[in-house]
Amino acid sequence: ELIPYIFGIQTLAERIKQMFNLTEVIIVPGDSQDDYLAKRDLGRAAARFLKRNLYLGCTVAVTGGSTLAEMVTAFGDGINARDVLVVPARGGLGEEMEQQAGVIAARIAGAIGAQYRLLHIPDNLEESTVEILKNDVHIKTVVQAIKNSDILLHGIGSAMEMANRRGLASEEIDYLQEKRAIGEALRYYFDKKGKIVYEVPGIGLEFPDLQNIGIIAAVAGGKNKADAIKAVLSHQHESVLITDEGAARKIIEEN
Ligand code: BG6
């Protein structure tokens, strides 16, 4: 379909907003699938969004990933958000260091002069280990802070890509395929309709907690992620999408 190409970015944003019942859609030009600068712009847009929404005493939770990692250097000088707390949304040391949620949380806190708390917990733990860790007092206090977040910024990935990146077992991958998982966010896997079909046990934010978070913004772009973004947004828990033109056009095109 060619018609969508005559739409400007504003019109695209408006259509996506209506499609998924969002309060705000921000679209940066370009396509971060093949243009690194577009991904950098996504990070900038997310940083601007966060600056605009910060308030005294608020807690901000962030996930990991290469997209969120672009926020770290995008804040500029002169912000002193001393009363803000930044936390990782879920524990996880499995990713490359620069892309770990904890590292990103600490670096964002550094950039805006905020406080941070970390969860030093590896990914892919056995469920029994997760249960034991959840009862540790130190972990409990951090988890409580995470669950009380006011703003959540999270990435979205294609289900199979994230399953491989996270080193899921081949039975788990088969299961995801059987359930037709398309998108992933916060270690939850979603099918086309936005139904959660699988969850990797972890420590930190869980789906029921999202109800109490005032602002939930997904930050993801690239036309390769369009289906994943649609799958995750169809679950209807986000209020904001920060994306790029490549993903946005594909989302509209296929509708
Ligand atoms: C992860 C998030 O760290 O980043 C995932 O926890 C998300 O939920 C992923 O899917 C996206 O990664 P990237 O590198 O594509 O931004």
Q: What is the pLDDT of residue 1?
A: 46
Reduced to 3 DSSP states, what percent helix, strand and coil does the chain have, rounded to the nearest 5?
A: 45, 20, 35
CA 162 to ligand 1: nearest atom? 10
- Residue 115 backbone dihedrals phi, psi, to 5 degrees: -95, 160
Measured CA distances, 250 to 160, 193, 236 (Å)? 19, 17, 19
Q: How far is CA 179 from the centre of its chain?
A: 22
| Residue 201 DSSP one-character state | -
Q: Is the CB of 154 under 6 A from ligand 1?
A: yes
Q: Which of 32, 66, 225 to mutate to test the pocket of ligand 1 (most atoms within 8 A of CB)?
A: 66
Beta partners for residue 216, in sequence order: 152
pTM of the model: 0.94
106 lines ligand 1 (CB under 6 A): no
The model's pLDDT over 113-151, given as tens digits with 9 standing for 90+, comes to 999 999 888 767 788 888 898 899 999 999 999 999 999
Name the helix (H) or strand (E) containing 109: helix 101-112
Rounded to the nearest whole angstrom, what is the distance from the C-alpha of residue 88 to the centroid of ligand 1?
12
DSSP letters of 20-84?
HT-SEEEEESS-TTT-HHHHHHHHHHHHHHHHHH--TT-EEEE--SHHHHTTTT-S-S----TT-
The span from the CA of 238 to the CA of 200, in Å, is 20
The tens digit of pLDDT for each residue in 238-255 reads 999 999 999 999 999 866
pLDDT tens-place string over residues 204-245: 999 899 999 999 999 999 999 999 999 999 999 999 999 999
Q: Does residue 103 have its Cβ closer than 6 Å to ligand 1?
A: no
What confidence tens digit (pLDDT) does each residue in 21-58 have? 999 999 999 999 999 999 999 999 999 999 999 999 99
What value of ipTM does the predicted structure carry? 0.96
Residue for token pair 């590896």? 122
Q: Which atom of ligand 1 is nearest to 220's Cα?
A: 16
Ligand 1 in reach of 32 Cβ (< 6 A): no
Interior CA angle at 107 toward 230 and 29, to 5°? Answer: 40
Bridge pairing between strands 215-219 and 240-244: parallel
